[in-house]
């Protein structure tokens, strides 16, 4: 457990909780702890789903600009690499992940949320990529994950202007998946991923990897990725239990072990 990032597990759902007052700004230490937390929950067999959460008031307001402002070019490249590596570790968590967005998710905060499979936002939440207003561009996935999610023209609008987007607009353009009252964000996010906690963990990981990898390639290669994951699942106990239960009891009654 780090100073600013901790992991809390309850009923197979892990919460990666960022807690760096006042706005969870992503400095070097937070980034390192975030990467460590992501790798830990990915490897923990007792964790079946994950919530990214910054607390009741703010998700992540962005990177620590004071830390970055005077970086020389040589150090800026390493800084961006470390940030990308940490967020890539979040994106590679082989379990369902939801970002519970309260308050601001700006810059690196939105880039972190984009690493999740789903995003739940509070009614007063604001999201955006304001880096252009600082004379730079997103450096932790914003120019790549955002257009893949909402399309290139909408992504360019947000990145070129740096404007903040309210929760309802974010929902309308597919940037978030659900909007709820501010005081219900964490509960709604937990409820969303808890439905997967009893599912076949190996198959869920395979489904996530097949979708994510397939989006980065052509259809023929994506179908081959799918075929190999599909066939590989016939080596699992969950496949045997799932199909046996279907034949003997009907659909939806299987009990999975995650093996």
Q: Residue holding tokens 């570790």?
A: 89
- Active-site hit among 85, 111, 248, 249: 111
Provide the 8-state DSSP code for 106: E
Q: Is the peptide bond before 194 cis (omega within 30 degrees of 0)?
A: no
Q: Is 8 a catalytic residue?
A: no
7 touches 40 (CB < 8 A): yes
Q: Residue holding tokens 């009741």?
A: 56
In sequence order, what are the beta bridge partners of 105? 60, 127
Q: Is 131 a catalytic residue?
A: yes
59 touches 103 (CB < 8 A): yes
- Active-site hit among 8, 33, 67, 131: 131
DSSP string for residues in 12-51: TEEEEEE--TTT--B-HHHHHHHHHHHHHHHH-TT--EEE
Q: Residue holding tokens 């880039």?
A: 111
3-state secondary structure of 136: coil
Query: Residue 69 burial by CB count (10 A; 0-12/13-18/19+): exposed, middle or buried?
Result: exposed
Angle in degrees, CA 184, 150, 36, rounded to 5:
60
In angstroms, the CA 132 to CA 137 distance is: 5
Residues acting as catalytic residues? 111, 131
């Amino acid at each position: 457990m780090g100073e600013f990032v901790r992991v809390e597990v309850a009923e197979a759902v892990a919460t990666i909780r960022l807690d760096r007052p006042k706005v969870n700004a992503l400095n070097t230490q937070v980034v390192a702890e975030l990467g460590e937390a992501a790798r830990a929950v990915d490897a923990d067999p007792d964790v079946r789903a994950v919530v990214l959460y910054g607390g009741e008031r703010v998700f992540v307001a962005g990177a620590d600009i004071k830390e970055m402002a005077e970086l020389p070019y040589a150090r800026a490249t390493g800084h961006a690499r470390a940030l990308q590596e940490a967020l890539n570790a979040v994106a590679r968590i082989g379990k369902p992940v939801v970002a519970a967005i309260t308050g601001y998710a700006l810059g690196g905060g939105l880039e972190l949320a984009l690493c999740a499979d789903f995003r739940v936002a509070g009614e007063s939440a604001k999201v955006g990529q304001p880096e252009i207003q600082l004379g730079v561009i997103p450096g932790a996935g914003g120019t790549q994950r955002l257009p893949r999610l909402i399309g290139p023209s909408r992504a360019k609008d947000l990145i070129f202007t740096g404007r903040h987007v309210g929760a309802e607009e974010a929902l309308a353009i597919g940037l978030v998946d659900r909007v709820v009252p501010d005081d219900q964000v964490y509960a709604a996010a937990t409820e969303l991923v808890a439905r997967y906690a009893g599912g076949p963990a190996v198959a869920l990981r395979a489904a996530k990897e097949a979708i994510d990898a397939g989006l980065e390639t052509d259809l023929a290669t994506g179908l081959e990725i799918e075929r190999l994951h599909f066939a590989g699942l016939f080596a699992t106990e969950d496949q045997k239990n799932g199909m046996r239960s279907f034949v003997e009891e009907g659909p939806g009654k299987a009990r999975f072990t995650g093996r």
